[in-house]
Amino acid sequence: MAMKTGGDNDEVMSEINVTPLVDVMLVLVIVFLVTAPLLTQSMNVNLPKTGAVAASDDNKSTPIGIDAQGRIVLDKTEIADLAQLEARLREAVQQNPDALYIVHADQAVSYAVVAKVLATAHKAGVNRLSLATVQE
């Protein structure tokens, strides 16, 4: 926007005030930093509680979610059955054989469903598999 400045100068001010732009960008960065950790969980599950556990140091993990009804979600994509889960895991293992997969199983889901998912992951060639829990 061109504005006239005071005084005898008849020059037009052609500078852009970047302060509001910087303020807005800073707020957006803060919002993204706050919301990014919330996006890692693919579905809402009530994790079982355990004692002291070693924390994973790998931030590049892929979540496998199992809700109370036994529905399976692999990295935010719902899986229809165990055969589809095995096929998707085989593809992922071919791309990155050392990837870490963390199973987020609801505490209400039966052990049989969790065991089938673990066996399917093993059959697909997953080498690094972990179970997510909440510390007591």
Kindly report the CATH number assigned to the domain that includes residue 67: 3.30.420.270
- Domain containing 113 equals 42-135
Q: What is the pLDDT of residues 84-94, one digit of tens each?
A: 999 999 999 99
The total of structural domains in the chain comes to 2
Same domain, 70 and 121: yes
63-97 b/e (C-beta count within 10 Å ≥ 16 → b)? bbbbbeebebbbeeeebeebeebbebbeebbeeee
Is 0.75 surpassed by the pTM of this model?
no
Same domain, 54 and 14: no
Amino acid found at 94: Q
Same domain, 31 and 47: no
Same domain, 54 and 111: yes
Banded pLDDT at 15 (limits 50, 70, 90) = confident
- State in Å, rounded, how far the first CA of the chain is from the last one: 59
